[in-house]
């Protein structure tokens, strides 16, 4: 009887593992789909910009190079925005501390 329970528990554990694996695969596929969508949008923008500037006198390599440049530029801009926000927050904290110090000296 114990062997039957062990076998049953192993089957249930295996089924649970398969469900989890399927869910992880689905999430990975969705993430990959989103990444491809973002890259496709950058490529579309790059293609439009090149077409506007050079009509048809550009290659696929030019589109890829410009799309990579646009992605890098957006990443750098996002990092700069985050850094500025951190500096603003740090400045506000220091200003509050300074005001509290001044107020405590006055008291």
Task: Give 43's pLDDT tier (boundaries 50, 70, 90).
Answer: very high
Q: Number of structural domains, the chain?
A: 1
pTM above 0.85, yes or no: no
Q: Residue 5 pLDDT more than 90?
A: no
What is residue 16's predicted lDDT score, i.e. its pLDDT?
86
Q: Which domain holds residue 40?
A: 2-106
Q: How confident is the model at residue 107 (pLDDT cuts 50, 70, 90)?
A: low
Q: How confident is the model at residue 15 (pLDDT cuts 50, 70, 90)?
A: confident
| Three-state SS letters, the chain | CHHHHHHHHHHHHHHHHHHHHHHHHHHHHHHHHHHHHHHHHHHHHHHHHHHHHHCCCCCHHHHHHHHHHHHHHHHHHHHHHHHHHHHHHHHHHHHHHHHHHHHHHHC
């Amino acid at each position: 009887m114990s062997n039957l329970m062990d076998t049953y528990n192993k089957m249930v554990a295996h089924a649970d593992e398969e469900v989890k694996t399927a869910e992880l695969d689905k999430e990975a596929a969705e993430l990959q789909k989103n990444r491809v969508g973002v890259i496709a949008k950058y490529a579309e923008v790059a293609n439009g910009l090149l077409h506007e500037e050079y009509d048809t006198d550009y290659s696929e390599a030019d589109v890829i190079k410009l799309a990579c440049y646009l992605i890098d530029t957006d990443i750098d801009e996002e990092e700069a925005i985050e850094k500025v926000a951190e500096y603003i927050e740090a400045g506000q904290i220091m200003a509050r501390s300074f005001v509290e110090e001044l107020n405590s000296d006055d008291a």
